[in-house]
Amino acid sequence: MQENLSFKNVSRILVVVLEGNLGLRISDILSLRLSDIVKDGDRYRLEITEQKTKKKRVFTIPLVIQQYIENYCLRNGLEKTERIFDLTERTINKQLALVCDYLGFEGIRTYSFRKWYTTEIYKNNGYDITLVQRLLQHSSAAITQRYIGIEPQQIEEAIEGHTQLL
């Protein structure tokens, strides 16, 4: 089926795949260059400066993601220093809205994939809010809690559900 997809459509799909697998903001995905991925022994690191915060971010990316990006660049004749995507956030959101409308989903935007990623990391790592805070480079756990949707009511319910008279 992928042979039938246009270059633009494959690009749009890859943007969302990367956001959901790396947890980066859409602005950082759209600024990526293959040269941002650096081989470090048998691993690959992504080294970027976040567009929104201007903070440097360095982290290991899964080999399968590195290979996916590299293969995409090779198939499309992209140089290491070229931006991988010649798209805007608006273009991605418009395409995503069309797909979601067709599938009957509401309220999904590009940030939904970053939020999903961080929520899954949170749940799959023992609900470690500090881990997610560091991953997102948030200044406080409270910001991270709001981001992944941990509401005060949920915290109160968790405490209430744990109450045990010894």
Give the per-residue pLDDT at 165. Answer: 66
- Whether pLDDT at 5 is above 80: no
Q: Do 29 and 19 touch, CB atoms closer than 8 A?
A: yes
Domains of the chain, CATH where assigned: 2-107 (1.10.443.10), 125-166 (no CATH)
- Minimum mean pLDDT among 33-47, 50-64, 92-106, 119-133: which range? 92-106
pTM of the model: 0.77
Rounded to whole angstroms, what are the CA distances from 18 to 30, 110, 152? 10, 11, 31
- Whether pLDDT at 1 is above 70: no
Q: Residue 115's pLDDT band (boundaries 50, 70, 90)?
A: confident
Average pLDDT value for residue range 80-106: 88
Give the per-residue pLDDT at 3. Answer: 46
- Whether pLDDT at 7 is above 90: no
Judged by DSSP in three states, 32 sits in coil
24: tokens are 């980066």
- Whether pLDDT at 85 is above 80: yes
Query: Whole-number mean pLDDT of the chain?
Result: 86
Judged by DSSP in three states, 69 sits in helix
Mode of pairing for the β-strands spanning 56-61 and 37-40: unpaired
